Amino acid sequence: MTKALISTIRDLHRRKARERRGLALAEGVRLLEEALAAGITIKGAAVSPALQATPRGRELEAALAARGVPLESMEDAALSGLADTEQPQGVVAVVEVPTWTLAQLRPGPGSVILVLDAVQDPGNVGALARAAYALGAAGMVALEGTADLSNSKALRGSMGALFRLPAVAADDTEFLAWLRATASTLLVADARGTDVRHFHRDPKAALALAVGNEGAGVRPALLEQAAGRIAIPLRQGVESLNVAVAAGILLYEVTRER
């Protein structure tokens, strides 16, 4: 069993393997706590003495055992060699990440879907999911060029949000068809856009808010389809904000009552 679990963990470092198996890696105490709280299926976990070093770690191990999760013990160095992050905190688990389809994203009146356009850093993808979930977004769409939603760094950066927030990968054709089918309004973050503090939206309209990577921004193909562009006013000399920080500000502004 140990060899099988180790082989699976190593395999899941590859995106194609995660897609084929429908599985992902979750590392660290906090993320596994969130997985348990969200009712995520945990197929097995490799644990090391580092997990026993803290009360939370011991409680987590007991909770995993009580849930019937197969546990395989190994030395700290061996587990660190399997981990994708620098500090796995004594636990690397194989989990089933929830999967959704665009058809399941049905934004209601006044709801917001966050759209990621070629956000390549998995840590940023995770932070974006965390901001979207915290600020009440109805879901998230990851367009082509965006880091894999099942990447372990994305899962860890989301602090469990990707266990709860409907998040879907889609290409442009699928996304634009979804926009039309749901009658959602596409709004994009753009440095040349309207100051978000002066943005007024129809409170009954479903909104898709698109953010791009910090270097290129949202692609021209999406800008052409947008009903509007919004920007965050910055101090002179500051070129941009981290995409997750910017998305959090924009989500707050477009959803708050004025």
pLDDT tens string 181-213: 999 999 999 888 888 888 877 778 899 999 988
**156 neighbors 27 (Cβ within 8 angstroms):** yes
Question: pTM higher than 0.85 for the full model?
Answer: yes
**16 neighbors 148 (Cβ within 8 angstroms):** no
Domains and CATH numbers, the chain: 2-95 (3.30.1330.30), 102-255 (3.40.1280.10)
**pLDDT tens, residue by residue, 75-123:** 999 999 999 887 889 999 999 988 899 999 988 888 999 999 999 999 9
**142 neighbors 174 (Cβ within 8 angstroms):** no
Q: Which residues contact 193 (CB under 8 A, 6 or more apart)?
A: 228, 229, 230, 231
Q: Is the pLDDT of residue 152 over 90?
A: yes
Percentage of the chain beyond pLDDT 70 is: 98
Residue 22 vs residues 87, 180, 187: alpha-carbon distances, Å: 25, 29, 32
Beta bridge partners of 195: 231
Tell me what pLDDT residue 258 has. Answer: 47
Residue 27 vs residues 62, 185, 226, 256: alpha-carbon distances, Å: 16, 37, 38, 34
Tell me what pLDDT residue 257 has. Answer: 58
**Burial class (CB within 10 angstroms; exposed 0-12, middle 13-18, buried 19+) of 47:** buried
**pLDDT tens, residue by residue, 121-143:** 999 999 999 999 999 999 999 99
Mean pLDDT of 167-172: 95
